[in-house]
Structure 1
Amino acid sequence: MPITNRKLLPPTITADAAHPTWVLARTLRATPDFSDVLLDYCVTMTQPSGAAWPSNKVFVQKLRYLTCYILIGSYARWRRGEGDPPTLAALQRAAVASPRQIASFIKDLRHGNYIVAEQQESDRRHYHLRPTAALINEVARSPLAFLAASERLQPSSPPLHTAISASTERMCDWLGRSVDCYQDGDSLFAPFRTIVQLTERECGYPLMTAVLGTHYATPSGVAAGLPSLTYRALSERFQVSRQHIGNMLKEAEREGWFSVAPGGHLTEISEDLVAEFETWAAGQMAHYRLLAEMVCDCGGAAPGMMLG
């Protein structure tokens, strides 16, 4: 099911075409192995996280993921001496969900040992929220996979993925600088409307990567590691009900994104969805690649950042 119509940038981000991120993104997307690299990315993003706590319920939905992402950014900025302590109240002001939703979600994250509340040294009556290594690693799954993908297309020496993933402190600083870019002006997420809509659903993004991975695997007949697109296989892989999988697949067919026939056969996929995903993915690869180069060049995070 090959698709050859590749517009390198959609009209929604034409104004940012000269930005270094999109200059690099165009180069990466034009690389002959781009589709093969995206297949490997999709396989990675459909794998179980390995976390003991049910992280699928926590991280693979847009509002919850963004809350964790913004918290990491606030913590990293504060540790660099460039912002206020990452308190619950500050997170409630910055995040996109309601204050009550944020408070409930943070309570769950603390229960799962993804966040620790620590007394502030300057005022022992107040507490700030510290993301643990477990939270950093979960939020970094997709960014690290995109960084690895970029290095397959343009190898670096020494490998950036190795340098970033070897240090939780450096990874926190890396993600934190990504949050700064996101909050300064979102050209990496908001313009991609279908991806945004899919990620609003519980496990919508992993489901999309399973479908796209199947699409990329079809020409070569290689699908190792990808789940079958049956209700049963998808619900077991992503730890949601078959009814929820069915509802998402029916919505995708109504919207004209893709169609999965009984037995898990991908019968149709929108050229626009493939083009949007490829542009978005190239932008993610370039974004995290450039930030990794910056963080590794400046030595990463300040000494003493403890994220155990």
Structure 2
Amino acid sequence: MPTTRRNLFHSTIHDAAHPTWRWARTLLATPDFPDALVDYCVTMTRPPGASWPSNKVFVQKLRYLTCYILIGSYARWQRGEGSPPTLAALQRTAVASPRQIAGFIKDLRHGGYVVAEQQESDRRRYHLRPTAALIQEVARSPLAFLAASERLEPSSRPLLAAISASPERMCDWLGRSVDCYQKDDSLFAPFRTIVQLTERECGYPLMAAILGTHYAAQRGVDAGLPSLTYRVLAERFQVSRQHIGNMLAEAERLGWFSIAAGGHLRAISEDLIAEFETWSAGQMAHFRGLAEQVCDPGGVAPKTMAE
């Protein structure tokens, strides 16, 4: 298996002087960085806790971004910095078509992830409120990255525990991330392979299973990751074997990775490893910095959310 020189960023990062990337470089060079990535990949490949098929809802780029942007709009409005997060407003800002957004929000309301509430200023109008369940689902990867950052560089106060304990604080935390994303997409756009994988149904957790297997083999640990057979991956991610087969065939054709008979990782691209490690270090630094802001004792506590 290839071994990436982790003191280097992936070639798509051009503004390495930015504070987030300066911190990311420090995390990237930490000796325990691969172990933190194993833990992250294990988290991202765990079966969903809810009976509703959350993998189908959240683990795909357009749907995830729609939820992410909704949370950002709601958090901004709660801070008194924006207009109410209505369906029409979401349709103007989200990345899918208005029809797709309307259908998706209907599904989210049915699943108890979004509530339509009357506006106090005009009872004829409704805004969309993300519930604690939606916030928790969208925060799954950010929380895992925050945990990884605290493992590599312990904080003076328990940031992960503080963020996890409060849906209001978690909403504010994610909302600030959305503000950064909408101002300057430097944490997603540079990572073309990762973005391309997330466009597929469950492409990201599949990638996490592949990368986690790679790092676990490097470190000689049994991390409890799913076997890379079609059957196990299909059952874990609640998709068909054909869908898994199609994604693995495409990955091999594009030179990203290949799986041998019996679910063994035969090869993985050095470039994909470098991209994933840079992406991960950037995400750790990004969400850690925002957690420091949100948990600042001198900050203003966010408003309480109803369940």
Measured against the shorter chain, the TM-score band is: over 0.9
Structure 1 equivalent of residue 126 of structure 2: 127
Q: CA deviation at 1:213?
A: 0.4
Structure 2 equivalent of residue 234 of structure 1: 233
> When the two structures are superposed, what TM-score results if normalisation uses the length of structure 2?
0.97
Q: Distance in 1 between matches of 2:128 and 2:299?
A: 21
- Deviation track 1:190-220 (CA, whole Å, cap 9, x = no partner) reads 0000000000000000000000000001123
Matches within 5 A, 1:58-77: 58-77=57-76
- 8 Å CA contact 2:35–2:219 kept in 1: the answer is no
Q: Distance in 2 between matches of 1:154 and 1:52?
A: 35
> Residue 297 of structure 1: SS of its match in structure 2?
coil
Structure 2 equivalent of residue 6 of structure 1: 6
> Residue 130 of structure 1: SS of its match in structure 2?
strand
Q: Distance in 2 between matches of 1:298 and 1:17?
A: 30
Q: CA deviation at 1:298?
A: 5.3
> When the two structures are superposed, what TM-score results if normalisation uses the length of structure 1?
0.97
Q: Distance in 1 between matches of 2:298 and 2:132?
A: 19
Structure 1 equivalent of residue 264 of structure 2: 265
Q: Which runs of 5+ in 1 are unaligned?
A: none
> Residue 52 of structure 2: SS of its match in structure 1?
coil
Aligned AA (1:177): R
Structure 2 equivalent of residue 181 of structure 1: 180
> Residue 125 of structure 1: SS of its match in structure 2?
coil
Structure 2 equivalent of residue 296 of structure 1: 295
Aligned AA (1:103): A
Structure 2 equivalent of residue 197 of structure 1: 196
Aligned AA (2:3): I
> Residue 218 of structure 2: SS of its match in structure 1?
coil
- Deviation track 1:52-71 (CA, whole Å, cap 9, x = no partner) reads 21100000000000000000
Matched, 1:214 2:213: yes
- 8 Å CA contact 1:173–1:300 kept in 2: the answer is no
- 8 Å CA contact 1:174–1:300 kept in 2: the answer is no
- 8 Å CA contact 2:145–2:280 kept in 1: the answer is yes
> Residue 136 of structure 2: SS of its match in structure 1?
helix
Q: Distance in 2 between matches of 1:117 and 1:147?
A: 31
Matched, 1:172 2:171: yes
Structure 2 equivalent of residue 115 of structure 1: 114
- 8 Å CA contact 1:5–1:271 kept in 2: the answer is no
Structure 1 equivalent of residue 28 of structure 2: 29
When residues 169 and 299 of structure 1 are mapped into structure 2, their CA distance, relative to the original with a 3 A threshold, is: farther
The share of aligned pairs that are identical, in percent, is 82
Aligned AA (1:4): T
Q: CA deviation at 1:144?
A: 0.2
Aligned AA (1:154): E
When residues 88 and 247 of structure 1 are mapped into structure 2, their CA distance, relative to the original with a 3 A threshold, is: same
Q: Distance in 2 between matches of 1:253 and 1:168?
A: 40
Aligned AA (1:291): L
- C-alpha RMSD of matched pairs (Å): 1.2
Q: CA deviation at 1:134?
A: 0.3
- Deviation track 1:17-41 (CA, whole Å, cap 9, x = no partner) reads 1211101000000000000110110
Q: Distance in 1 between matches of 2:27 and 2:207?
A: 21
- 8 Å CA contact 1:213–1:223 kept in 2: the answer is no
Q: Distance in 1 between matches of 2:298 and 2:238?
A: 39
- 8 Å CA contact 2:72–2:174 kept in 1: the answer is yes
Structure 1 equivalent of residue 148 of structure 2: 149
- 8 Å CA contact 2:45–2:225 kept in 1: the answer is yes
Q: CA deviation at 1:224?
A: 2.6
Q: CA deviation at 1:299?
A: 5.8
